[in-house]
A and B are shown apart, each in its own frame.
Chain A
Amino acid sequence: KNQVEQSPQSLIILEGKNCTLQCNYTVSPFSNLRWYKQDTGRGPVSLTIMTFSENTKSNGRYTATLDADTKQSSLHITASQLSDSASYICVVTLYGNNRLAFGKGNQVVVIP
């Protein structure tokens, strides 16, 4: 079973609307949790990073939350733009060996 599960696998939203992506993980303990944005044909780019003691982090219109008790994180996109169309990948860093556990990503398509 994958250590990081993301949902929904894909979604389509109208430009200007908000959306929330979910990440559930079983990795424990962990050092940090990152959300990456991957545009088509490009490598992933880090959006946010949170340690286990943080519960929210913002980067412009992107806001990530973390609940270490329930092992859940979410990425909220506010007022979506066409450029938000991408795959969003949740990545958890294992404490100790610093290995990364990747989710398979949420594919977001923003339509005008």
Chain B
Amino acid sequence: DAGVIQSPRHEVTEMGQEVTLRCKPISGHDYLFWYRQTMMRGLELLIYFNNNVPIDDSGMPEDRFSAKMPNASFSTLKIQPSEPRDSAVYFCASSLGLGGAQGYGYTFGSGTRLTVV
């Protein structure tokens, strides 16, 4: 398996533009997570899906952010309109089961570095 695949690796866009980040989870994993990482705040959970259904989106900063998972092998995170404070690295992760005593591990993608100017 190629692991969790994210695209693009880097994105530079102007303030106000729409940005779409893409993720292909590991085949067979039933959970998909979107995280944002900044130096100031570290890793923050934005939203996660179970079997393509959004379960918890309480981490989504505001209505400008939206995420979809139309099928088990694809998810998008969209920011519209983008703002400079959205600049960060966005990670997608997938897992088989949800972390708990069973110790299901999360596999992270390589991330998308977003710069909004």
Task: Please say whether chains A and B are actual partners in one complex.
Answer: yes
Q: What CA separation (Å) do A51 and B104 show in the bound complex?
A: 12
- Verify if B45 is at the interface (C-beta below 8 Å from A): yes
Min C-beta distance of A27 to chain B, whole Å:
13
**Is the pair A45, B101 in contact by a Cβ cutoff of 8 Å?**
no
The interface size bin for chain B is 20 to 34
Please state if B42 and A46 are interface contacts (CB–CB under 8 Å): no
Q: Interface centre among B42, B45, B105, by most A CB within 10 Å? A: B42
The answer, yes or no, to whether A112 is at the interface (CB within 8 Å) is: no
Cβ-based interface call for A60 (8 A): no
Task: Report the minimal beta-carbon distance from A10 to chain B, rounded to whole angstroms.
Answer: 11
Tell me which residues from 39 to 81 in chain A have a Cβ below 8 Å from any Cβ of chain B.
41-46, 49, 51
Docked pose: A46 CA to B3 CA in angstroms: 14
Tell whether, in the assembled complex, residue B109 and residue A43 are in contact, meaning their CB atoms are under 8 Å apart: yes
**What residues of chain A lie closer than 8 Å to B108, measured between beta carbons?**
43-45
Pick out which of these stretches binds chain A: B12-20, B60-68, B71-79, B91-99.
B91-99
Knowing A49-B105, A89-B43, say if A43 contacts B99 (CB, 8 Å): no
Specify the chain A residue showing the minimal Cβ separation from B31: A98
Q: Given A43-B93, A45-B108, A49-B103, verify A105-B42 contact (CB < 8 Å).
A: yes
A42 touches B111 (CB 8 A): yes
* Residues of B with C-beta under 8 A to A105: 42
In the complex, whether B21 has a CB less than 8 A from a CB of chain A is no
Which of chain B's residues have a CB closer than 8 A to the CB of A41?
A: 110-111
Task: Determine whether the beta carbon of B110 is less than 8 Å from that of A42.
Answer: yes
Given A43-B93, A98-B99, A100-B45: 19 more A-B contacts, CB < 8 Å: A32-B103, A34-B105, A41-B111, A42-B110, A43-B91, A43-B107, A43-B109, A44-B43, A44-B108, A45-B108, A49-B103, A49-B105, A51-B103, A89-B42, A93-B100, A98-B98, A100-B99, A104-B41, A104-B42
